Amino acid sequence: MNLQVEMRRHRDTLIVRLVGELDHHTADEVRLSLDEEIAKGTCRHLLLSLESLQFMDSSGIGVILGRYKLIKQKGGRMVVCGVNPPVHRLFDMSGLFKIMSVHEDESQALSELGVAL
């Protein structure tokens, strides 16, 4: 299976929905797509919606951590939502939940960022 990346902006927040598998086959494509969109300048916060992400490996952790650092450098915040149990376990084991918050859905995550729908 491959990966689909859906991106949209809401005010100064880039909302990214990942559908499929984020692994060593798809990580570079995701990294480049996100970096290009973030570099456009109007993106301050990043929301990752992962409810349709079925699998992620350590390459995915690297992509997420790198985008977290990029957003922090811009003075923004990164949040995640809709994390299914296997991906949640990987986030927990890697320590990502110590640096970013997790929410049930996009609405809650946007509210946390102060940019509710």
Give residue for tokens 């798809």.
26
pLDDT of residue 117: 60
8 CB neighbour count, 10 Å cutoff: 11
Domain boundaries, the chain: 3-113
115 has pLDDT over 70 = yes
Report DSSP state, residue 45. E
Q: Considering the domain delimited by 3-113, tell me its CATH architecture.
A: 2-Layer Sandwich (3.30)
Summarised one tens digit per residue, pLDDT across range 6-48 is 999 999 999 999 999 999 999 999 999 999 999 987 889 999 9
Nearest to 45 by CA among 114, 108, 102: 114
pTM over 0.95: no
Check: CB of residue 71 under 8 Å from CB of residue 77: yes
* Contacts of 95-99 spanning 24+ positions with Cβ under 8 A: 96/61, 96/64, 96/65, 96/68, 99/68
